[in-house]
Chains A and B, each alone.
Chain A
Amino acid sequence: MRFWLQRVAMAVLLLLSVSALTFGAMNILGDPLFNILGPVAGDVNNPDSVKLIEKAKAEFDLDEPLVVRYGLWLSDFVRGDMGVQFSSDGQPPVSDLIKERLPRTATLVLLAQLMAISIAIPWALVTASRAGRLSDRISTMNTFFLVAMPNFALAIILKFVLSIKLGWMPLTYVANDPLSSRLWQMVLPALTIALPVAAVFQRLLRTDLITTLQQDFILMARAKGLSRRRVLFRHALRPSLFSFITVVGLNTGALIGGSIVVETIFRIPGIGSSLVESVLREDFPVVLAIVMIVAVAFVLINLLVDILYSIIDPRVRR
C-alpha cells in the first residue's frame, strides 16, 4: 500500500515538473504577445494596435509574473480547462480541440499496439523454439528490414498495395463517417505503425525466451512429458515477459505524440498533427496541453506496467 502511495506521489511530482518546465521554457524562449497578435504586437505607435495589445494582455494575463501565470494555468488545467488557442481567433478552445482529436490518436495507438503484440508474441515463440535454424534466420532478416524501413515508406507501400492496387482497404480517414467505418479506416495506419514495432518486440521477446528455454525448470517441464507447445506457452512465456512489457509500455507513450507521419499520410486529424502545427505556430496552450497528455499517458502506462509485473511474477508482489 505504501509503495503505491509513493508511486502516486512521484507521478504527481513528475507531472508538475514537466508542466513547469514546458511552461517556463515556452514563455522565456518565445514571446506570447507576438504569437497571439502577430506583427501587430510590435506596432506600439498605432493607437488601434495598442488597444489590441492591451486587450490581449488582459485576456491572457500577460502582465502578471510568470509564476502567477503558471499558477493560473495550472488551476484551470486541473479543472479540465486547457485555455484558449493563441491563433485562429482562439476557437475552438484547447480542451475541445483535444477532446476531438485525442480519441482518434488513442484509437490508432491502441489498435497499433494490439496488432504489434499479437504479431510479436506468436512470432517470438516460433522463432525462439527454432533459434539458429533457417526459419529463424530468415525471420531475423525480415525484422531488420522492417525496423530499418522508414515509416512513411512503409505507409506508402502498404497504401499502394492494399488500397490502390488490391482495393481491400480504404484510402484515407474520413472524420464524418460512422464509427464502424472509421475503425476500419484505422486498420491500415495502425498496421503501418504496428509492423516495425512488432519486429522490435519480437526481437526482444525472442532473446528473453531463448534465455528462459535454457533454464532448468524448462528441462524439468520436458521431463514431465509436457508437449513442446505446452512447455513454451505454460512455462517459458510468462517468465520471459518482463522487458517485453516494459518496452511495450514506454513505446505506447512515445507513439501518442509520435504517430505524426502516419496521421499525415492517412489524413487522420489526431494529436500528432496538432502537435507539429502548434509547435510551428508557437501556440503555447496547445503545445502544453499535448505535452501534458503524453506525460500523463506515460505515467499511467508505467503504473500499469508495474501492476502487470506483480501479476506475472509472484516474487515482486508486496
Chain B
Amino acid sequence: MSDNVETELLLEISDLKTHFRTPRGTVRAVDGVSLTLERGKALGIVGESGSGKTILSRSIMGLLPRSGVIREGSVKFRGQEILGKSTKEMQSVWGREMAMIFQDPMTSLNPVMKVGRQIAEPLMLHLGMNKAEARQTAEKLLRDVRIPEATRRLDQYPHELSGGMRQRVMIAIALACGPTLLFADEPTTALDVTVQAQILELINEQRRDRNMSLILVTHDLGVVAGFTDEIAVMYGGKLVEKAPTKVLFERMKMPYTEALLESIPRLDQPSHSRLAVIPGRPPDLVNPPQGCRFAPRCAYVRDRCLTEEPQLTAAETPGHVYACHYPVGSPEYHERRVELSKVSTVVGGSI
C-alpha cells in the first residue's frame, strides 16, 4: 500500500507529436514520444540543439504558438487528458500545477516590472491573495531561493540583479503557487559555471522539499547526472534511449548517447587533446532521414540502419529502452570499434 503512494503517476505521455507548419514544409519537431513520470521524481531530457527537447517540454505544458501547430497524441496529467484543452482552460494549470523555469534569466523577466510584482502576480491570480499577502509570500519565496536582503529586492527591477539572482527570482516565480510539476529548460546554460551548480542544487532541494516532479531539459549529460532519477535521450524529434540515470551511465545502448557523453571534456584526458565532437548536424526535421535518424552521423552505421527505422526495445535492465539495431555491446558494435581504434592510432601516429 505504501508503494502506491510512492508511485503516484503524475504524467503519462503517449505518442506525442508536435509539428509546425512552415513555408518550407511541416517540421516534425516532436515525432511520437511516450514517457511517464511519477510524483516527486526528476526526469532529464537530453539532446543536442534541434533535437526537439525544448519543444517537447513546451508541448507537454501546452505552451505553443497559437497557429501553425499540429499537436497529437495524449498527455495525461494526474490522470486527466490535457492535450485537447483550450488555452483558457490551461491558464488555471499554468503557474498553478505546472511551472517553467526558462533558459535565459536576462530576457525572461519583464524589464519594466518590479521583481516583487512579478512574483506576486501568480499568487494573486491563482491563490486569490491580496496585495499585502502576496508581497509577504513573495518575500518568503525570495528567502527560500536564498536571495539576500529579500525585502529590498522586492522593489528592485531585474536589471539591478545579477544573472544568478535573476535565475533565483525565476525559480521563486515558478515555485510560487506550489506546482506539482516543474519544467526547467536549460536553467543553467546562460549562467557562470560557478553559479550553475548552486542553481541546480537549489532546484533539486526545492523539488525534494515540495515533493514536486521535475523535468530537466538540457544538452549537457553532466548536468543531469547528479540531479535526475531517469534520463530520456532525444534525437531528431524522437526518443532514442531512456533509462534510470545510473543504468544509463553504466550501460548505455545508443551510440548517440555514448557520443554525447564522450563529447564532454574530461579532466583525466591529457591537456590539449582534441575535443570529441559528433560529426555532421542534427537531421532536417522537414525531411527526416529514412531508417534511423542518427544513422548519417553514426560511427557504427550499417546498411540496415539506413533503411529500417529501429523501434524502442527493452534492454535487460527494467525501465531501460533504446532504439538501435546494433547497440553498444553488440558483436557488430565491437567489430566496428576495433576498426575505428586502428584508424585513429594510424591517424594519431602520423601527426
Contact = CB atoms under 8 A, between A and B. Distances in A.
Contact of B110 (A223, A228, A239, A312): A239
Given A226-B91, A313-B112, A314-B112, A217 B122 contact: no
Nearest to A235: B110
B276 to A, nearest CB: 32
A230 to B, nearest CB: 8
A223 B96 contact: no
Contacts of B67: 133
A216 B102 contact: yes
A224 interface: yes
A219 B57 CA distance: 13
A315 B108 CA distance: 16
A17 interface: no
Nearest to A314: B157
Contact of A223 (B95, B112, B125, B157): B95
A215 interface: yes
A217 B109 contact: yes
Candidate in B61, B92, B111, B170 with the most chain A CB atoms within 10 angstroms = B111
Q: B-side binding surface: helix, strand, loop or mixed?
A: loop
**Chain B: interface residue count, which band?**
20 to 34
A303 to B, nearest CB: 21
Contacts of A216: 102-104, 107-108
B91 A225 contact: yes
B112 A239 contact: yes
A81 to B, nearest CB: 46
A238 B113 CA distance: 9
B173 interface: yes
Interface string A227-262: 110000011001100000000000000000000000
Candidate in B63, B91, B96, B170 with the most chain A CB atoms within 10 angstroms = B91
B126 A313 contact: no
A219 B103 CA distance: 12
A225 B112 contact: no
A225 B93 contact: yes
A315 B159 contact: yes
B94 A223 contact: yes
B229 interface: no
Contacts of A137: none
Given A215-B107, A217-B107, A235-B113, A315 B95 contact: no
Given A223-B61, A223-B94, A224-B173, 15 more contacts: A216-B104, A217-B111, A219-B108, A220-B108, A223-B100, A224-B99, A225-B96, A226-B95, A226-B122, A234-B113, A234-B121, A235-B110, A239-B112, A312-B112, A314-B157
Interface of B: 61, 63, 67, 87-88, 90-96, 99-100, 102-104, 107-113, 121-122, 125-126, 157, 159, 170, 173
Which 9 A-B pairs have CB atoms at the shortest separation, nearest pair first? A225-B95, A225-B94, A224-B95, A216-B107, A216-B108, A314-B157, A224-B122, A217-B110, A223-B100
